[in-house]
Amino acid sequence: MTTLLNRRFLLRERPSGDFDPKVLQRVVEPAPVPGPGQALVRNLYLSLDPTNRIWMSEGDSYLPPVPLGEVMRGGGVGVVVQSNTAKFPVGAKVGGLFGWQDYALISDSGEQIAQVIPGWLPVPLTATMGVLGVTGMTAYFGLLDIGKPKRGETVVVSAAAGAVGSIVGQIAKIYGARVVGIAGSRDKCEWLTKELGFDAAINRRDADWRAQLKAACPKGVDVNFENAGGEIMEAVIELMNLHGRIVLCGMISQYGKDDRRNVGPGNFVDLLFKRLTLQGFIILDYVPRFPLAQLRMMWWLKRGLIQDRHTVVKGFDNAPQALTQLFTGANTGKLFVEFDDPPKG
Ligand SMILES: NC(=O)c1ccc[n+]([C@@H]2O[C@H](COP(=O)([O-])OP(=O)(O)OC[C@H]3O[C@@H](n4cnc5c(N)ncnc54)[C@H](OP(=O)(O)O)[C@@H]3O)[C@@H](O)[C@H]2O)c1
């Protein structure tokens, strides 16, 4: 019998500053063998997320840091290839935190995040990592529960052409808001306005992006869906109306900073003067409410009110390099890696 070989990326050292693919070490080991109540998943797709950089750092966040020498934590979608549990039968497609590796063990005791993906879903499997998965749900709950946009209000979203941002803007349009996106290239801005229906999109790399943003928000900003942090967040706060809402979803420009005391907006005092509400949130708190939101999202997809786009990188060995795309802005929509065949034993 041939042994299944498992390519894995281990966290070798903690990055300082920007993510460097060298902090991940590729190893090949025999795949684990499922025991009683366990199943073996072969990964098909690996979700790449800005939070991967957060998980590599020491210190408190919302999950413990990945221990040095351990397999890198990561979400994904796979298929059950061996099983000793009726909960995960062979052939079932599953989604969960399976790590940066070809094969992962899951168990029916519920100790890891692993869920069977229903076969009847009218969308490609990869949508369960994006528009119907964590990033789509983040857009949905962040915007509707916290941002609460009203018809005619102005919503500004940063990292607008990314997985979360592109869905935020489209939902805000469904709710009748004026939507302004901030993205990192002219092509992305054209996609947002010409295909997704954003009212305006600002290229954050233009020298006069602040002036463009102001011109695009003639009635000020009511809701700021914040994905970027830093100078972008400061510029939007400057334009916010009294009693505006800030949905603090992410601060990708700050994830490489070692000193967290210096990552806040410099004009924080404007929250006081303008009576703004700022709420941070982590999507894990909303998991029990996913099913209804997923149904609504499927309905919007079916009616063409939401478009889903992704950037796919083929070949698991390319995963560390692919992760840099999130920080250079090379991706549009949800970024993931499609696994190739693991090596033969
Ligand atoms: N709170 C939660 O539970 C939760 C869940 C999921 C994601 N998030 C957060 O949501 C945000 C978006 O995540 P995503 O998965 O959808 O990623 P994404 O937007 O698809 O990719 C990241 C994008 O961020 C932009 N970016 C990178 N570096 C930047 C910088 N220095 N300044 C401004 N923009 C920069 C780039 O777009 P441009 O070059 O086009 O600007 C890049 O494409 C992240 O902050 C992430 O941490 C939060």
**Domain ranges, ordered by start, for the chain:** 5-129+309-338, 134-286+294-301
Tokens of 203: 């290229």
Could you name the CATH architecture of 5-129+309-338?
A: Alpha-Beta Complex (3.90)
| Surface-to-core class of residue 133, CB atoms within 10 Å of its CB (0-12 exposed, 13-18 middle, 19+ buried) | buried
pLDDT digits (tens, 9 = 90+) for 128-163: 999 999 999 999 999 999 999 999 999 999 999 999
pLDDT value at position 111?
75
Under the banding of pLDDT at 50, 70 and 90, the label for residue 345 is: confident
Q: Give the other-Cβ count within 10 Å of 272's Cβ.
A: 8
Tokens of 293: 């939101």
Would you tell me which CATH number, out of the four given (3.40.50.300, 3.40.50.620, 1.20.140.10, 3.40.50.720), belongs to the domain 134-286+294-301? 3.40.50.720
Of 154, 150, 134, the C-alpha closest to 63 is: 134
Q: What φ, ψ does residue 56 adopt, rounded to 5°?
A: -80, -20
Residue 183: CB within 6 Å of ligand 1? yes
Residue 253: CB within 6 Å of ligand 1? yes
pLDDT above 90: residue 14: yes
pLDDT value at position 1?
63
The residue whose two tokens read 């796979």 is 78
Q: Give the other-Cβ count within 10 Å of 167's Cβ.
A: 30
Q: Would the pTM of this model clear 0.95, i.e. be above it?
A: yes
pLDDT digits (tens, 9 = 90+) for 210-269: 999 999 999 999 999 999 999 999 999 999 999 999 999 999 999 998 887 778 899 999
The residue whose two tokens read 């090379």 is 330
Q: How far apart are CA 252 and CA 327, in angstroms?
A: 8
Residue 252: CB within 6 Å of ligand 1? yes
pLDDT value at position 288?
94
Q: Which of 204, 310, 326 to mutate to test the pocket of ligand 1 (most atoms within 8 A of CB)?
A: 326
Whole-Å CA distances, 243 to 81, 153, 319:
53, 12, 42
Q: How far apart are CA 295 and CA 144, in angstroms?
A: 15
Q: What φ, ψ does residue 315 adopt, rounded to 5°?
A: 100, 115
